[in-house]
């Protein structure tokens, strides 16, 4: 849905009922006869700033990478600034380059 997909289409692709998604995504307070009232946290997409797992690049990290590539910096100093492996930055740039071979609007000279 964050990529512009309609709610129904996203639910079909993930394999959940549309009403289930409407309950899950924003989070909610549930009143259960056995457990009482408890909070169900909202769904946080992987890689978002709220994810916090460290496994995925955050949006802010991707912006830093794009700015670094645009400025003509090599992958090693960009990775050092983020505290990430050089291979992580290389994979990000190669996987998410546009069809034209650009990442963040800048032509790639691989360097990986």
In a domain, 49, yes or no: no
- Round to the nearest angstrom and report the end-to-end CA distance of the chain: 32
Closest CA to 26 of 8, 36, 39, 13: 39
pLDDT in tens, 49-68: 555 557 788 888 888 998 99
28 and 67 share one domain: no
The answer to whether position 45 is within a domain reads no
Question: Could you tell me the pTM of the whole model?
Answer: 0.51
Residues 31 and 64 grouped into a single domain: no
Instruction: Identify the pLDDT of residue 6.
Output: 77
One domain for residues 29 and 66: no
Per this entry, what is the length of the chain?
Answer: 112
pLDDT of the residue at 111: 63
Per residue in 89-105, pLDDT (tens digit) is 999 998 888 877 778 66
Both 30 and 70 in one domain: the answer is no
Range of the domain at 17: 7-40
Considering the chain, what is the average pLDDT of its residues?
76
**Is 21's pLDDT higher than 70?**
no
Tell me the pLDDT band of 81, cut-offs 50, 70 and 90.
very high
Kindly state whether residue 51 falls inside one of the protein's structural domains.
Answer: no
pLDDT above 60 (res 29): yes
Same domain (yes/no): 68, 102: yes
Write out the DSSP string of 4-59.
S--HHHHHHHHT--HHHHHHHTT-EEEEETTTEEEEEPPP--TTSTTT--SSS--H
Angle between helices 86-95 and 59-70 (to 10 degrees): 80
Do 70 and 36 reside in the same domain of the chain?
no
In a domain, 2, yes or no: no
How many domains are there within the chain? 2
Q: Is 72 helix (H, G, I), strand (E, B) or coil?
A: coil
Mean pLDDT, range 6-24, rounded to an integer: 71
């Amino acid at each position: 849905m964050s990529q512009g997909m309609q709610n129904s289409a996203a639910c079909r692709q993930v394999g959940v009922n549309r009403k289930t998604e409407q309950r899950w995504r924003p989070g909610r307070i549930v009143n259960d006869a056995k457990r009482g009232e408890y909070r169900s946290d909202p769904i946080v997409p992987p890689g978002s700033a709220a994810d916090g797992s460290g496994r995925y690049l955050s949006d802010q990290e991707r912006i830093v990478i794009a700015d670094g590539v645009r400025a003509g910096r090599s992958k090693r100093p960009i990775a050092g600034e983020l505290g990430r492996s050089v291979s992580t930055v290389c994979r990000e740039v190669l996987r998410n380059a546009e069809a034209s071979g650009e990442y963040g609007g800048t032509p790639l000279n691989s360097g990986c």
